[in-house]
Amino acid sequence: AISPTHQRVGYASEAARALIEYAVRDLNVGRVLAGTTFDNIASIGVMKKLGMKMYVNGLDVPEWFQVVGMATNY
């Protein structure tokens, strides 16, 4: 989690983008998944900003995996 005083300034997007770039470049990862709850608008926004396609997970899964973002083809 990011401290409330440092939220909404792009740190999460910047960190997530760096992790994805590292995973693709150095670990040969071909697909990245992210999950969050329906009401976590900030996390959904980060996933969209990273170009992830959004899916609603209809399976009986933990709350944090209700919404799934997936990015492929780097």
What are the strands of the beta sheet with 67-72, ordered from one edge? Answer: 31-36, 67-72, 53-56
Read off the pLDDT of residues 19-48 as tens digits, 9 standing for 90 and up.
999 999 999 999 999 999 889 999 999 999
Cβ atoms < 10 Å from Cβ of 52: 20
What does pLDDT average to over the chain?
A: 89
Q: How many CA atoms lie within 13 A of 23 on its CB side?
A: 15
Beta strand 31-36 with 67-72 is: antiparallel
**Domains of the chain and any CATH numbers:** 4-72 (3.40.630.30)
Task: Give me the residues paired with residue 72 across strands.
Answer: 31
Whole-structure pTM value: 0.80
